[in-house]
Amino acid sequence: MARSQAEAWSAQGVTSNVLVPGFVRTPLNERLGSDPAAVSALAARTLVGRNGLASDFAAAAVFLAGPGSAYVTGQSIAVDGGFSVH
């Protein structure tokens, strides 16, 4: 989706990117988050050794919203503590 939107809008100065989160406990995944073994297993699979926090996405979102990312478009940026590297 980000790539097709980037193709459609980048010439007009609109960039399109996606933040791809790792596991972050939220009300949407409460059932999984209530299983300590599953939560620990997910944390152990990340390179940084922990699950994500909502605040982990703030800097990436600010970057994408600011002028420093004017030349970044059509990208999926993993904010997952290295989970996707495995």
Find the CATH number of the domain harbouring 31. 3.40.50.720
Q: Residues of 19-29 as b/e, b for ≥16 C-beta within 10 angstroms?
A: bebbbbbeeee
44 in a structural domain: yes
86 in a structural domain: no
pTM: 0.83
Does the pLDDT of residue 74 top 90, yes or no? Answer: yes
pLDDT of res. 86: 79
Domain range spanning residue 55? 2-81
Q: CA dist 9 to 4, 16, 71, Å?
A: 9, 8, 13
Structural domain count of the chain: 1
Per residue in 10-64, pLDDT (tens digit) is 999 999 999 999 999 999 999 998 999 999 999 999 999 999 998 999 999 999 9
